[in-house]
Amino acid sequence: MARIVRTAPRLTRPVWAGPALSLRYGKPAGEPHVGESWEVWHENRSADGRTLGEQADFPVLIKLLSTRDVLSVQVHPDDATARRRGATSGKAEAWVVVEAEPGARVALGLSAPVGREELRELALSGGLEAHLRWFDVGAGDVIDVPPGTIHAIGGGVTMYEIQQPTDITWRLYDWGRGRELHLEDALDVAITVPASAPRRASGRLISHPLFVVDELVPGPSTAAGWRAVTCVAGELLVDGERLSAGDTVMVGPGAVVFRGDGRGLVAGVGP
């Protein structure tokens, strides 16, 4: 039987956060709202005080997000750029939309190519708003965000995010909120052409050289490495360990049995 590890998530309360993580997943309520729940993070601790990194080899960060307002327009570096700046890795990420209010959307790339200096001027003048390429999103959409992709998440979205285990974010534009921008860093890595649109997928949702995400299928399951199981709706049982919506457990190598009529996402490392 595979080992199961449950750790307490790290919670953040950014300016754009909405109430969905409290209302849908029982995360602590209050103002400001919880916008991110870092479900899988090497510094998260289990009840015995040990960190996840001390117990599992799983170099991936998994979050649940809830937005009420639009996030900054931002980019993330690739591995080579991040390492030149002293970080351990860049930040490739992918999203699965769990729930979206009518009219919810995300920005991916630009509507037309621009040069570096033109992008700088657009960011400084606010003209970038009119050059973003927006896509409507709904529950079940899968969105790939390779390093260098100019992107923003609009309000009214609840999503599952998987990424490399770093949180390097370079803001290109922040809608006049006055937070720090990282313009030169962002310009160094920004891909200034249109990006790929969201897609619909079933079964294997995300296939990346560093991480994969599948829909949970009830029944016996065996894996050679660690997996992260997140319940995003209803309830699930993982070898008797009960998961309510918003819960995540780590499942060690070996066999487990998944039960329940809830919806779960199962993340692993590698293709």
Same domain for 152 and 219, yes or no, is: no
Instruction: Work out how many domains the chain is built from and give that number.
Output: 2
Domain CATH code at residue 69: 2.60.120.10
> Amino acid letter at 82?
A
Domain extent at residue 86? 7-201
Same domain for 91 and 171, yes or no, is: yes
Same domain for 196 and 219, yes or no, is: no
Same domain for 35 and 128, yes or no, is: yes
Look at residues 201, 225, 240 and tell me which one is the last residue of a structural domain.
201
CB 60 within 8 A of CB 40: yes
Position 270 scores a pLDDT of 79
Same domain for 115 and 244, yes or no, is: no
Q: Say if 206 falls within a structural domain.
A: no
Q: Say if 191 falls within a structural domain.
A: yes
Same domain for 153 and 222, yes or no, is: no
Q: Note down pLDDT in tens along the chain; length 271 residues.
A: 789 999 999 999 999 999 999 999 999 999 999 999 999 999 999 999 999 999 999 999 999 999 999 999 999 999 999 999 888 999 999 999 999 999 999 999 999 999 999 999 999 999 999 999 999 999 999 999 999 999 999 999 999 999 999 989 999 999 999 999 999 999 999 998 888 899 988 779 999 999 999 999 999 999 999 999 999 999 999 999 999 999 999 999 999 999 999 999 999 997 6
Position 271 scores a pLDDT of 67
Angle (nearest 5°) at CA 242 between 94 and 30: 65
Q: Say if 62 falls within a structural domain.
A: yes
Among the listed residues 107, 252, 113, the one whose alpha carbon sits nearest the alpha carbon of residue 193: 113
Same domain for 149 and 44, yes or no, is: yes
Same domain for 195 and 98, yes or no, is: yes
Same domain for 153 and 216, yes or no, is: no
Q: Say if 186 falls within a structural domain.
A: yes
Q: Say if 1 falls within a structural domain.
A: no
Kindly write down the DSSP assignment for every residue of 12-57, as one continuous string: E--TTB-SHHHHHH-PPP-SSPP-EEEEE-TT-BBTTS-BGGGT--
User: How many C-beta atoms surround the C-beta of residue 143 within 10 A?
Assistant: 24
Same domain for 197 and 234, yes or no, is: no
Same domain for 19 and 95, yes or no, is: yes
Look at residues 141, 172, 201 and tell me which one is the last residue of a structural domain.
201
Same domain for 145 and 225, yes or no, is: no
Position 167 scores a pLDDT of 87
